[in-house]
Amino acid sequence: MNKNKYLIAGIGLAVGFIVSFFWTQSFNKNNAAPATTAASSGMPGGASGASGAGGQQAMMGQVQQVIEKAKSSPDDFQSQVEAAKIFNQIGRVPETVEYLKKAYAIDANKFNELGAAGFLGQYYFEQKDYAESETWFNRAIKAEPNEADLYVALAETYVQREPPQPDQAVAQLQQALKIDAKSGHALGHLVEAYALKKDARAAEETLNRLKETDPTNQRLSTLESLVADLKAGKPVSIPKE
């Protein structure tokens, strides 16, 4: 799952030229020389170099203001969101998460309107903190109860944890399939959940359903091998993501 799917829909990624500059400059300890070179190359004679450098400094100042405002106004919901946008743009995911969580603590209802809970759920999933991931995916589902992929994501937290919790995974995947009966994403993970339950019949039936609804699914060969091992009485394991 692409974690940015949820952030794009929620807090947004297009925050303009300030972030573009911040990406290339703000964490470069030697940014002065590159900035001058880039500015000078735009106009002959280097006349734009000075104005370009001044403009870049102004933009940098605006970026720093966004971050400082979030720090100095810890109860300001929008300030935390704006800081999260900045950090997301430069690939500083832990800081993005930090400010999103601060925004949630300030106003959970406004936060839910952003649709960013799924982003946090996926972040903690990638950190293998499945309990925390479960918490955020449940919050995302509460905000978007008709989003099938969120139920699939929640199910994955049950499949991947140690020990797995396949019954909970099956319940979430079945809910996803009520919303989207042809979801190859949900069906593939449902095969895995049944395999963990050692239910060879249900796993094979689900695999056949996947073949019918999504015949080009890239995971088919892997799932076929999984079901074959299950039917042969061999130990099965689910690849960790």
Does some domain include residue 133?
Answer: no
Does some domain include residue 20?
Answer: yes
Does some domain include residue 56?
Answer: yes
- Indicate which CATH number applies to the domain containing 235: 1.25.40.10
Structure tokens at 19: 């972030």
The whole-number mean pLDDT for each consecutive block of 10 residues of the chain, a chain of 241 residues, reads: 47 36 37 38 39 64 83 93 88 92 96 90 95 97 95 97 96 98 96 97 98 96 96 87 57
Residues 185 and 98 grouped into a single domain? no
Number of structural domains, the chain?
A: 2
pLDDT digits (tens, 9 = 90+) for 169-209: 999 999 999 999 999 999 999 999 999 999 999 999 999 99
Smallest Cα–Cα separation from 193: which of 222, 215, 171?
171
Residues 190 and 120 grouped into a single domain? no
Q: How far apart are CA 162 and CA 159, in angstroms?
A: 8
This prediction has a pTM of 0.76
Residues 114 and 207 grouped into a single domain? no
Parent domain of 219: 146-241
Does some domain include residue 132?
Answer: no
Residues 172 and 106 grouped into a single domain? no
Q: How far apart are CA 69 and CA 82, in angstroms?
A: 9
- Kind and range of the H or E run holding 230: helix 220-231
Burial of 123 (0-12, 13-18, 19+ CB in 10 A): buried
Q: How far apart are CA 76 and CA 110, in angstroms?
A: 12
